[in-house]
Amino acid sequence: MRGVWLDAIVVGLVFCPGCASRLDEHQRLAENPYRQPLVSSGSQFGSLPPAVQNTVRAETGSAEIEGVAKTNAVGQRVYEIRFQNPELYPPMYVAQDGSVLNPDLSVAVGAPRDNSEVLTGAGAGGLKFEDLPGPAATVVRSYGPVDQIAAIDRQMWGNQLTYIVSFKDEVRYPKLYLASDGTVLKEGRK
């Protein structure tokens, strides 16, 4: 009888060497409530573009942030910043260039001119034709050849986001000034 038990123990040890370690791992998981990576509001704030960080600091000082949500709207990235004290600091909506947006995503306070971006076309790491909002892209495509775009400048003019599209042949295709909705603006900045 002693040999049967000994054989059973040996067989168990040979064929189930990981059983004990799996039990230990299961027990450790049951004891530790933290299973997901933790994300702090400070790390969320730190991942925001510098223009957005500057706007949040300028508008709210050192108000404690509860969280940050990112979305694409109005043809650009929009950040919703929620604060620990929502009665004092309601959610703030900020465009990537640092403009403060109203809850309906219209511009409440435009970004300083220093935050505008002069972005070149394909290959320079800046704004490309594909990055234009749909209505503006449609107008540009009907205006001139897309492969002849030299540069795209995105600027805030008052409360309006404006795209200035320059072509390589400026004689045939003068600069095109567009609003995000595709409206062609006749003149440059006033």
Give me the chain's average pLDDT, please: 76
User: CA nearest 111: which of 100, 103, 122?
Assistant: 100
Domains of the chain, residue spans: 41-112, 116-185
CATH fold for the domain made of 41-112: Nuclear Transport Factor 2; Chain: A, (3.10.450)
pTM over 0.95: no
Q: How many percent of the chain have pLDDT more than 90?
A: 14
∠ CA 97-178-96, nearest 5°, is 10
Burial class (CB within 10 angstroms; exposed 0-12, middle 13-18, buried 19+) of 154: buried
70-98 confidence digits (pLDDT tens): 988 767 889 999 999 988 889 999 988 88
Q: What is the DSSP string of 63-86?
A: PPEEEEEEEEETTEEEEEEEES-T
User: CA nearest 152: which of 169, 170, 171, 177?
Assistant: 177
